[in-house]
Amino acid sequence: MELSIANDILIGAQLLESPNQNARPDSADIELLVIHNISLPPGEFGTSAIQQFFCNELNSESHPFYKEIADLKVSAHLLIDREGRLTQFVPFSNRAWHAGESLFCERDNCNDYSIGIELEGTDFDPFTDNQYASLVGVTQLLLSTYPLMSIDKIVGHSDIAPDRKTDPGPCFDWDRYKRSLST
């Protein structure tokens, strides 16, 4: 599928707009791409819980872990599921709430100037070929759309919040991903 961006929306992605977003201080300032992983319930794939979580529709009674996250208000710009399907929750021009307390190159509040992509997965499971293919396609499009973004400004959540986060984790193949971007 040929991907494109129109009005800050990824054409080719399912759109489920999250309420967990707001205006960026400067939408022309997008320069960082942050890669995450998420699974809900933890370690389970193919549920609709991630989408429900990002849209504040997760039933906290349906799994014990959900009680721990019931009050969190988070989102990402995109989710790439295990099949490589794309869901967009926040227009790229807006601030998604994905990075939390964070720092990149002495600049804090990474949500202000970053795009967050969640991969359905864990720190302990390899990501799928379909996920890498979708991630590479989206990344190439973002790099060509946002002139301040570059390959050296693509990081994991663990890079910008090392005391709090470990994702995308040791099973994410950074070499494979970055090699694929240059082909």
Half-sphere exposure of 70 (CA within 13 A, CB side): 10
Instruction: Quickly state the pLDDT bin for 27 (edges 50, 70, 90).
Output: confident
Tokens of 9: 């929306």
Instruction: Tell me, yes or no, if 118 is annotated catalytic.
Output: yes
For the four alpha carbons of 98, 101, 103 and 109, in that order, the dihedral sign comes to positive
The domains of the chain, with CATH numbers, are 22-47+76-181 (3.40.80.10)
Nearest to 118 by CA among 93, 95, 88: 88
What's residue 59's pLDDT? 96
Which residues 6+ apart lie within 8 Å of 15 measured at CB? 9, 87, 88
What's the DSSP call for residue 138?
A: H
Mean pLDDT of the chain: 97
Instruction: For residue 86, give both structure tokens.
Output: 């794309």
Give, in degrees to the nearest 5, the angle at Cα 79 between 75 and 82.
140
Calpha distance 6→82 (Å, rounded): 25
Over residues 137-170, the pLDDT tens digits come to 999 999 999 999 999 999 999 999 999 999 999 9
Give the global pTM.
0.97
3-state secondary structure of 124: coil
Query: Residue 130 has which token pair?
Result: 């379909």
Selecting among 17, 83, 101, 118, the annotated active-site residue is 118
User: Which run of H or E residues covers position 96?
Assistant: strand 94-96
Two tokens, residue 16: 């489920």
DSSP string, 141-181: HHHHH-TT--GGGEEEHHHHSTTT--TT-TTS-HHHHHHHH
Complete DSSP assignment for 20-70: SEEE-S-GGG--EEEEEEE-SSTT--S-SHHHHHHTT---TTSSHHHHHHT
- What integer is the mean pLDDT of 25-35? 95
> What pLDDT, on a 0 to 100 scale, did the predictor assign at position 2?
84
